[in-house]
Amino acid sequence: MHSSPAKPIIAAATSPWLPPIEFGIEPYLKMCHSFNEALRELEARFPSPRPLLTLETRKKLLKRKPK
């Protein structure tokens, strides 16, 4: 990646139906990477007390009862 982003973060308030901030691809990827790293660190520091939900367990939980 090069040092200057292809499209910097720009405030776009011209269209009310669009989000207020428009990201270029490089800032967006950096943001996603930082979220991923932060979540990985939180999961390592504070593991979930609940067991992992496997596909088989999920299928059993979501099965409908016969009428």
Asked whether residue 49 is assigned to any structural domain, the reply reads yes
Domain extent at residue 31? 10-62
Asked whether residue 67 is assigned to any structural domain, the reply reads no
Asked whether residue 27 is assigned to any structural domain, the reply reads yes
Residue keyed to tokens 């009428």? 67
pLDDT, tens digit, for every residue of 41-61?
998 999 888 887 888 888 888
Q: How many CB atoms lie within 10 A of CB 16?
A: 6
Asked whether residue 55 is assigned to any structural domain, the reply reads yes
> What is the pLDDT at residue 40?
93
Asked whether residue 14 is assigned to any structural domain, the reply reads yes
**CA count, 13 A, side-chain hemisphere, 29:** 7
User: Are 20 and 13 within 8 A, CB to CB?
Assistant: yes
Q: What's the pTM? A: 0.43
User: How many domains does the chain fold into?
Assistant: 1
Asked whether residue 3 is assigned to any structural domain, the reply reads no
| Alpha carbon distance 23, 6 (integer Å) | 10
User: Are 5 and 24 within 8 A, CB to CB?
Assistant: yes
> What is the pLDDT at residue 1?
47
